[in-house]
Amino acid sequence: MRKVKVIVNTLEGEAGRIAFKDVGCANTFIMVMNKEALKTNQLNFKIEVKLVLQEEDSQKILELFYKVNENNDDSPIQDELIRSYIQIKNEMQEEKDSQKIKELEELLKKYKSIIRELIPNIL
């Protein structure tokens, strides 16, 4: 399951929260907010993006902070989210692989001990 949460903060406090199903939708929202801010000269808010990745029991959260008035280019936020998503996804896969290896090593130890017990009985 993958969700992207976008939180818009103004100087006065939190203005709203929106959850998107993927990075592309969140990026479109950020681009629209950026253009609106530039049109109306409302450059006093910051957009906080949380990318939440959840698979089985593990959950990793990535937080990126983006101030509209600091950068008028819309593409880096999406590029960074995608890069971070791939990195976190790889880390999660490495954790899964590591866990599987541990489980297999435990099974191997168990089977070796069973075989050791059986060999004298067979001979």
CATH of the domain at 98: 3.30.2260
The range of the structural domain enclosing residue 19 comes to 2-122
Contact 7, 52 (CB under 8 A): no
- How confident is the model at residue 68, as a pLDDT? 42
Domain count, the chain: 1
Distance CA(104)–CA(26), nearest Å, equals 40
Distance CA(96)–CA(100), nearest Å, equals 6
Question: In this predicted model, what pLDDT tens digit does every residue of 68-116 receive, in sequence order?
Answer: 444 445 545 556 666 666 777 777 778 888 888 899 899 889 888 888 8
pLDDT-based confidence at 119, cuts 50/70/90? confident
What residues does 18 pair with on adjacent strands? Answer: 6
Question: In this predicted model, what pLDDT tens digit does every residue of 30-70 receive, in sequence order?
Answer: 767 666 666 666 555 566 655 555 444 444 444 444 444 44
The structure's pTM equals 0.34
